[in-house]
Structure formats: C-alpha cells, structure tokens
C-alpha cells in the first residue's frame, strides 16, 4: 500500500526527475513527508516565485522538464508569474500545487483558491487529481505534454485528501513519445522555389531553434547556403554571435545592421520565431518587400501575424534539411557584411564613468562558456547587444513576459542543472529587489553564482522612455534611496565589492570571475545612461534613434 504522496514521488522518479524547487505548506505537506524517503533532491527557495523561475532556468539549461512545487492558496498564486513566463517563452515545466481536501473545495476554505482556473490561459494543460489511482497517469501525461511539440508549463493540482489516501500501488504509467511529422511536400516545393528565386534572403532565427533541438541543423544550413542570419532576443546563440554570417539581433534595441538587412530583404526564412512586436516594430512596415517562408512546430504561429507564403510545419530539423543550398549570393553577402562592419558597436564612450556595454563585452570575452542569466531592463538589452553566446543555453532571459526578478532564481536553476558551469546573473537595482531573498538560497547551497548589479539609482528603462517620449516628466522611477547592496549581500553571507570608475573594471572582472564561491559586483553608473539604438514606438525598424540624435 502507498499513499498518494508516495505514489507521486515514485511517478516523478519514474520520469527521471532529480531536482525539485519548492516551498512547503499545509496542503502540500503529505508530499513533503514522502520526500524524506525519496532520492529526489529538493531545493528550498525563499519564495514560491523563486521556485518556478529556478525550475525555468533549470529547464532552459538542461533541456529537461523543470519541476516546482508549492502549497495551496498564496503558495499557488505566487507561482503564477513564473508559469506565465514559461508559457510565453515555451519552457517545459511541471508545477505541482497542493489543494484543500476535495470535501472543502468550493467552500472558501482556508488557503483555497481555484489555481486550475486562474492558470488556464497560461498553461498547455491542467490536471485536478480526484482519484489517487490516477496519479501515475497524470504525472506521465503532464511530462509528455510539457515537453512535446512546442513546450510549455503544465499544472498538477493535488487535493490533500488524495495525497493522504492509501491505495495498492497501480502500475507506473509510461507514455510513448510522438515524433513531429515532417513538412508538407507541396509547401517544401513552394519554399524551395522562393529561396532559389530570392536575391536578398535572410534567415530570421527565434527561440524555436533551440527549443526544437535544431541548432546543429540550423548551423549546417547556414554554412551550406550562405544566407545571412539575424536573431530575436530568444534566438541568440542559435548561431554563434561571432559567426561571420551572423548580422545581429533585430528589433527595438537590435543592431542597426540587422534591422537594415531585414528591411532590404526580398525573402524572410523565419525559423522558430513568432514575429513578436519587439522584433518587428510596426508590423505593416516590417521587411516590406519580403515574401515569407515560415518554419515552426506550432501551427498556431503560422500566419498569425505575418502571412506565410510557404509554411513548413513540424520538426525544424527535417524542414531545414529539405531546403536548397545551391544559391549564388555573393553580392548580397558582401552588402550585408559591409553593413555589419559599418554598424559595429563602438566602445570608446567619453568620460571616466563605467560604460556597461564595454564591461559586459569584456566579461563575455573573458569566459566564452559563461552562462548569463538576465533580469529585465536596460541591462537586459545591453547583455543581448554586447555579450557573445556560442549556444542558446548560455543566454537565460525573460523574453515574452519581461519579468523583473527572473535573473537570480534562473541562475540558481542553471547552476543546479550544470554544477560545472560558470553562471553569471546580470541584474539592475530595480530588478534585484524583486527576488533578492533568493540570495539566501545561493548561500544555503553555496552556489558559485556571480552577480553583476548595474545600479543607476532608477528604473532605467522606464526613466529612458519618460525622458524620450513623455517630455522628461519623471514619475516614480527614482531609486536613489537604494540600500547598500554590498552590505545586503554580506548579510546573506555573500561577499561583494563596489565598482565606480572605468579604471577599476579590468580588476573587477578578474576578481568576480576568479573568486571562489558566490560574489556580487555592485557597479555604479550614471543615472542618465541610456540604451542605444532604439526604435521609437509606432515606427518601423529602419527608424532608429541613436545617442547623438536623441
């Protein structure tokens, strides 16, 4: 005989789960009791949002399904932001929540909320378990759904009486994997005709390249075809950012060359991207002369925002292998290369203050294998613009949701996924306060995570927009009363130091990266530092503000 809680643990072990991020409470307590006798490694975070975001970082780094757990009521609702983040960025995740006993459901019992209903728009699927015998099947289906096709989060809600109920052990459930089909031959033929006819084609890479395990296939096609490449925020690393064929990130804060190349294209080959507004700018003016070949695993994305002249639905690897490579693009390649050289980033900023783009580039060059986890704001854009990435798993960022507070929990998950990796969080003085309690998690498990805290004493990106587009009417962006972050880190058992002058940067990078254990570098910069270039709201991507024209 086994309780439902014990059966859950056995089912998780059957799925190959090794690490769970969570926080206990009343309704989930039977499961925590069963954990005592389990070989699962439970990581105690200090807030449930930290648990789900750590599971997210774990999944992105490892390529496996991330798992988090919380109790009912506030425990469950604290997971919602992280579940939405995983949904918008297509991250495979299983979130397990406790629920009040079935007899009390619907009575407004203590710590009862309808987490099933609350999360319905932001999950691939939800389960409310009503029979203990169903637990193995539910767990098997949840992991399958989370990982298949376009990945995403799945919720399992477990009433307390179900986890306490004993049953004779039912057979463990095993679900066979369904491989994605290859693309439709007629669509392949149409795509091949368009690619051979194109004179200025561009490969537009999104997060789906990494999610679809199509990185090798994508790189092989780039090498064979010679087609220039641009990437979205989540597509960075699909092709190494130092590769000669890579022009840059496109979009609102993209590289000017990348935006110019896209605007000049006569064909966009979109691979695992979704024409997000931050990438396209004003959609009706995005790549205005270009036809579109769209490769994706999710039929919902095809022609959702931009009509696809050819749609290759299914396994990206099979779709890429079906495309032609016998192309003659010398003139186009030369033009793209010239634009890339002309628009290269400059790092000779005037003054003695720290120029964050250059510091981040230096950090990236000091360790090409560095895994970088970002929070959200100006520093997030600087990382995307100026850090080099050899593969998608090196760049963890909240792209679709833009959730502040993501950086530190995601870094924790990444470090548990790959203990040998050197993991760096880049945060801002606004973002770090969202989940600063997870410094305690770093200290508890002595994780060697490095933190670059960019402090401009303001909510920098909001302040920049108020400066440029709201007549310098600054509203609630002043953070000049920030705490002493080095002292705060020290109180959590994490050493730190301040960096205030450009002459200190080289020594700071060496100290940060080569220290044993965790370390925080508190980098103080000019409150009026801005991210450039910038596509203004409502404009097409060929209209980019530069610093000198602001």
What CATH number is attached to the domain comprising 243?
Answer: 3.40.50.1220
Written in H, E and C, the secondary structure of 27-45 is CCHHHHHHHCCCCCEEEEC
User: What's the token pair of residue 398?
Assistant: 């909240």
397 close to 233: Cβ distance less than 8 angstroms: yes
288 plus 401 within the same structural domain:
no
Q: How many CB atoms lie within 10 A of CB 395?
A: 27
Residue 172 lies in a domain: no
In a domain, 173, yes or no: no
Q: How far apart are CA 480 and CA 66, in angstroms?
A: 37
The residues near 486 (Cβ < 8 Å, ≥ 6 apart) are: 496, 497, 498, 520, 522
Nearest to 377 by CA among 274, 455, 436, 450: 455
Q: Are residues 195 and 329 in the same domain?
A: yes
- What tokens appear for 225 in the block? 């075809």
> Domain boundary at 320, 342, 364, which?
342
Domain identity same for 160 and 200: no
Q: Per the domain annotation, does 242 fall within a domain?
A: yes
Same domain for 157 and 207, yes or no, is no
Residue of 302, 293, 304 whose CA lies nearest to 265: 293
Distance, CA of 529 to CA of 463 (rounded, Å) = 10
pLDDT in tens for each of the 550 residues of the chain?
A: 899 999 999 999 999 999 999 999 999 999 999 999 999 999 999 999 999 999 999 999 999 999 999 999 999 999 999 999 999 999 999 999 999 999 999 999 999 999 999 999 999 999 999 999 999 999 999 999 999 999 999 999 999 999 999 998 776 677 666 667 889 999 999 999 999 999 999 999 999 999 999 999 999 999 999 999 999 999 999 999 999 999 999 999 999 999 999 999 999 999 999 999 999 999 999 999 999 999 999 999 999 999 999 999 999 999 999 999 999 999 999 999 999 999 999 999 888 899 999 999 999 999 999 999 999 999 999 999 999 999 999 999 999 999 999 999 999 999 999 999 999 999 999 999 999 999 999 999 999 999 999 999 999 999 999 999 999 999 999 999 999 999 999 999 999 999 999 999 999 999 999 999 999 999 999 999 999 999 999 999 999 999 864 3
- Specify whether 249 is located in the same domain as 147: no
CATH number of the domain where residue 515 is located: 3.40.50.970
Same domain, 147 and 215: no
Same domain (yes/no): 20, 161: yes
Angle at 361 between CA 357 and CA 362, to 5 degrees: 120
Q: What is the pLDDT of residue 144?
A: 96
440 and 298 co-located in one domain: no
My answer on whether 88 and 193 are in the same domain is no
387 and 531 in a single domain? The answer is yes
The verdict on residue 486 lying in a domain is yes
In a 10 Å sphere around its CB, with 0-12 CB exposed, 13-18 middle and 19+ buried, how is residue 18 labelled? Answer: middle
Q: Residue 64 belongs to what domain range?
A: 2-167
Report if residue 348 sits inside a domain: no
β partners of residue 545: 534
**Of 296, 318, 342, which marks where a domain is finished?**
342
What would the DSSP string read from start to end of 145-161? HHHSSS--EEEEEEEHH
Calpha distance 329→227 (Å, rounded): 8
User: What pLDDT does residue 549 have?
Assistant: 43
For residue 178, being part of any structural domain is answered with no
The reply to whether 349 falls in a domain is no
Total number of domains in the chain: 3
Cβ–Cβ < 8 Å for 93, 66: yes
327 and 190 both lie in a single domain: yes
Domain final residue, candidates 276, 311, 342? 342
Report how far residue 191's alpha carbon sits from residue 43's, in angstroms, rounded to the nearest whole number: 48
Asked if residue 347 is part of any domain, the answer here is no
Q: Do 199 and 127 belong together in one domain?
A: no
């Amino acid at each position: 005989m086994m309780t439902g809680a014990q059966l859950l643990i056995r089912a998780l072990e059957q799925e190959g789960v090794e690490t769970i991020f969570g926080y206990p409470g009343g309704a989930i307590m039977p499961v925590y009791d069963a954990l005592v006798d389990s070989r699962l490694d439970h990581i105690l975070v200090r807030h449930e949002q930290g648990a789900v975001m750590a599971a997210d970082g774990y999944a992105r780094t490892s390529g496996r399904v991330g798992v988090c757990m919380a109790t009912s009521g506030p425990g469950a609702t604290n997971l919602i932001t992280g579940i939405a983040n995983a949904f918008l960025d297509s991250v495979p995740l299983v979130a397990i929540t406790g629920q009040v006993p079935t007899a009390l459901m619907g009575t407004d019992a203590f710590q009862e909320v309808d987490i099933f209903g609350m999360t319905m728009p932001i999950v691939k699927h939800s389960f409310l378990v009503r029979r203990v015998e169903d637990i193995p099947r539910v767990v098997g289906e949840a992991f399958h759904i989370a990982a298949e096709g376009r990945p995403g989060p799945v919720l399992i809600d477990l009433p307390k009486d179900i986890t306490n109920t004993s049953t004779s052990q039912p057979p463990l459930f095993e679900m066979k994997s369904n491989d994605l089909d290859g693309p439709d031959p007629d669509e392949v033929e149409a795509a091949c005709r368009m690619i051979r006819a194109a004179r200025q084609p561009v490969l537009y890479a999104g997060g789906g390249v990494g999610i679809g395990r199509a990185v090798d296939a994508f790189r092989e096609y780039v090498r064979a075809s010679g087609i220039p490449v641009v990437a979205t925020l989540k597509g960075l690393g699909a092709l190494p950012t130092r590769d000669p064929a890579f022009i840059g990130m496109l979009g609102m804060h993209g590289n000017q060359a990348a935006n110019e190349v896209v605007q000049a294209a006569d064909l966009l080959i979109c691979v695992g991207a979704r024409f997000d507004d931050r990438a396209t700018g004003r959609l009706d003016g995005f790549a205005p002369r270009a036809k579109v070949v769209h490769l994706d695993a999710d039929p919902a994305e095809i022609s959702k925002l931009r009509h696809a002249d050819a749609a290759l639905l299914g396994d990206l690897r099979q779709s890429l292998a079906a495309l032609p490579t016998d192309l003659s693009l010398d003139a186009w390649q030369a033009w793209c290369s010239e634009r890339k050289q002309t628009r290269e980033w400059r790092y000779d900023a005037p003054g003695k203050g720290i120029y964050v783009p250059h510091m981040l580039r230096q950090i990236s060059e000091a360790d090409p294998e560095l895994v970088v986890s970002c929070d959200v704001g100006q520093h997030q854009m600087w990382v995307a613009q100026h850090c080099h990435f050899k593969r998608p798993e090196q760049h963890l960022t909240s792209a679709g949701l833009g959730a502040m507070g993501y950086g530190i929990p995601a870094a924790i998950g990444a470090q548990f996924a790959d203990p040998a990796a050197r993991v760096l969080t880049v945060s801002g003085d606004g973002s770090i306060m969202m989940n600063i309690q997870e410094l305690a998690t770093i200290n508890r498990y002595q994780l060697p995570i490095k933190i670059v805290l960019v402090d401009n004493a303001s909510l920098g990106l909001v302040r920049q927009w108020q400066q440029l587009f709201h007549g310098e009417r600054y509203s609630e962006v002043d953070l000049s009363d920030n705490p002493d972050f080095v002292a705060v880190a020290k109180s959590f058992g994490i050493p730190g130091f301040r960096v205030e002058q450009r002459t200190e940067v080289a020594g700071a990078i060496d100290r940060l990266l080569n220290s044993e254990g965790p370390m925080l570098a508190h980098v103080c910069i000019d409150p009026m530092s801005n991210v450039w270039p910038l596509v203004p709201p409502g404009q097409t991507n060929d209209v980019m503000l530069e610093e000198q024209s602001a």
